Structure 1
């Protein structure tokens, strides 16, 4: 007797601007989609998924949790961005298959929705002030009531007062233009070292950011002890943390208000749902990181819909990375991502809720990509964090 959900085939699509899509097909032709990628390391994650393929072919896609445990614990070395991103894409695809096989959205399988819509925000850059107002108006016109931008460009370990004074300029422009009608998140992007964070907070506080993201790199999370009590602005971090074990010490430390696991980096739907539940126990909210494609965004929204502590969701629609190919270009039902009055409505379609346009994917594969983030240097030639 055939198992309709027995995994039979795995395919990859490396497409611009910087994405890798995974297609898992079962014996009966049910298809699940995932997005296993590290920005700038697409080929490396592809190779990792190929190494894990032996644990998937011939297995039932129904056994999502058992497969997750084997992929994570079956190797002697665990965690890290490459392995966890590979697991993430596989996990997304398995949930997509299971939802489609049962004819229900993934959020129904996770316990059912706690909300009927999810608040959204979108990037407007922020490195260059000349585009900030223009992009903010574009996002507001598109339905957003919240945006996020970089707080700074490259900065020295201890920056000059001149550079410090530039930092508040962009958010000042937005506050003068929109007042408090627009929520504005500021991403420090790990570009700032501990010695500068308090000084920059002093500059930014008068303009009421919604949150400050990655005030220091995640490998320096102990520095948050010196930052957290200094400001009343919510502190967000977590995009470069890859499992519940990475988040555990941060939550125990009590120096974060918003965690931002990425559905394509932190173990997929299965693991981010667990991370969200852990955070809820510490009275910490959830705002998944998502600068990637439609599958990653759909996966994040499925977790948001069932997590009572989810407060806002990042979208990469129209982000400056997506030149030539945007998130909606690869989707046959782009209407599911329509933002109305700042929110996306609860998904109703089975599985992840997105239909991938394979013809468009095949076009993208012919172009491919070799994306990597820029290397920045200061005036003296020393490396600056990007």
Structure 2
């Protein structure tokens, strides 16, 4: 079997796909989305495809080494996301060639279903009780919220009090039987996180995500030792080496994104590394259905899986993003869990005609906002 073509499709600022074709007629799909940078990553995918044409797609580890290291300069969000999309497509081909889901090739299933969580953010403040209730009524029992405003380096006490009041209302709405996590989104400084984290314990917060920016990962050990709330991080880390730093700091949950951190190949290695530190895996995935399927293949294969992020919210009804699938129903959570995917490869069927119809060749809509403080200084979003 030989690779004959690599095609890319940009659907939006948060959705890009790659299709790898072979001379045996077996096709694999991957998602190389990097939020706000999809055209840049797509260019990297197209450059890397020069290493793939004519190669046997079944030699995934060898091809991964070439893709990840063959350009001399390596790593970072753009190149690692390009590798990730191609890696997913190669695993999809191999699973389809052998007629088994990818998790079977990673050692077989470790569970029958994967717990998912949903976001319950509000336009302002921290958490929307009504949105949270809708998720819970549809079977979700793990919610995540994030403050939706600028955070000062040493923010005023009343702002922290307001955040805690919002969380208190959210807890009252969903009751004690639902887990609540908070994503600090790298907006908090180290001293401000030190102030906040102990106050979250009384609300039963199950984990606090990204309490400092990724460039300050070496400071996480101080927070872990001080915090009664477990710490999670990893959506902006791209390799085992970067995850080792935060694991040595003592984080409880790592959150690699299979579209950013080198794909399923590197994601599996990160999960194995995390297991040696008694940490669990909650893959980052606020992206499309191909990314979710790839994340789930990892979730079904590793023993230390905690929960899967998703933003499709198919438990609330159909999503326009899933129109690219032949049958999106297999990704619908049942009682807050997605049943194990049993189809070959990624376990989903992509409708190529729908993908091509959704391609956006024009100017993409804006992605994440850029925030500034009242004095004009840059503020973390």
The TM-score range, normalised by the shorter chain, is over 0.9
Question: Where do 1:3-82 residues align within 5 Å?
Answer: 3=1, 6-16=2-12, 18-82=14-78
Q: Provide the residue aligned with 2:350 in structure 1.
A: 356
Q: Within 5 Å, which residues of 2 pair with 1:1-386?
A: 3=1, 6-16=2-12, 18-129=14-125, 132-251=128-247, 253-318=248-313, 326-366=320-360, 369-386=364-381
Q: Please state how far the C-alpha of 1:316 moved relative to its aligned partner.
A: 1.3
Whether the 8 Å CA contact 1:119–1:312 is kept in 2: the answer is yes
Q: 1:247 to 1:129 in 2, by over 3 A?
A: closer
Distance in 1, matches of 2:129 and 2:331, equals: 24
Q: Distance in 1 between matches of 2:289 and 2:214?
A: 26
- Tell me whether 64-73 or 168-177 shows the greater mean CA deviation: 168-177
Instruction: Provide the rounded CA distance (Å) in 1 between the counterparts of 2:307 and 2:132.
Output: 17
Residue 183 of structure 1, CA deviation: 0.9
Contact kept, 8 Å, 2:220 with 2:246, in 1: the verdict is no
CA distance in 2 between counterparts of 1:337 and 1:313 reads 12
**CA 232–198 in structure 1, closer or farther in 2 if over 3 Å, else same:** same
Task: Give secondary structure in 2 for the equivalent of 1:9.
Answer: strand
Q: For each residue in 1:150-206, what CA deviation from the matched residue of structure 2 results, as whole angstroms up to 9, or x when unmatched?
A: 045211111112222111132211211121121111000001111200212243222
Number of equivalenced pairs: 377
SS in 2 for 1:168: helix
Q: Secondary structure at the match of 2:211?
A: coil
Q: Counterpart of 2:359 in 1: which secondary structure?
A: helix
TM-score of the two chains, using structure 1 as the length reference? 0.93
Encode CA deviations 1:122-175: one digit per residue, 9 max, x unaligned: 112245259712211221233211111104521111111222211113221121
Determine helix, strand or coil for the equivalent of 1:350. coil
Distance 2:328 2:193 in 1: 39
CA offsets, 1:221-270, max 9 Å, x none?
A: 1221221111221100011000111112222x232110000000000000
- Mean alpha-carbon deviation: is it higher for 104-113 or for 20-29? 20-29
- TM-score normalised by length of structure 2: 0.95
How big is the shift at 1:92? Answer: 0.2
Q: Say what the alpha-carbon RMSD is for the aligned residues.
A: 1.8
Distance of aligned partners of 1:201 and 1:249 in 2 relative to their CA distance in 1, 3 Å threshold: closer
Distance 1:206 1:130 in 2: 17
Cα distance in 2, alignment partners of residues 88 and 103 from structure 1: 22
- Deviating more after overlay: 358-367 vs 332-341: 358-367
Cα distance in 1, alignment partners of residues 312 and 74 from structure 2: 32
